[in-house]
Amino acid sequence: MENNKSFAEFMNESTVPQKQSSEMTMMEIYVDMVLNEILVKHRKEQLLTAINDALDQNDQDAFMKFSAELNTLEDTHGV
């Protein structure tokens, strides 16, 4: 069978209704925010562990590096 519909007609039939599309966009934004928060909290935990390890090993360079990254993370994300 041959499909004689134009591209515009095909797109109009296959697109999500406007209300549902905006709801999906809001859901995507919400999911992105939640995932970002999880990633930031996980990175903070990693940095705190690395800082503690650096303190235990008297590694001043590692301590300064991880502390600076933690400060930047806290400044940019407010955690």
User: What are 38-77's pLDDT values in tens digits?
Assistant: 999 999 999 999 999 999 999 999 999 999 999 999 999 9
Buried b (16+ CB within 10 A) or exposed e, 6-37: eeeeeeeeeeeeeeeeeeeeeeeeeeeeeeee
Q: Give the pTM.
A: 0.67
Domain ranges within the chain, ordered by starting residue: 18-77
Can you give the pLDDT at residue 69? 97
Can you give the pLDDT at residue 1? 47
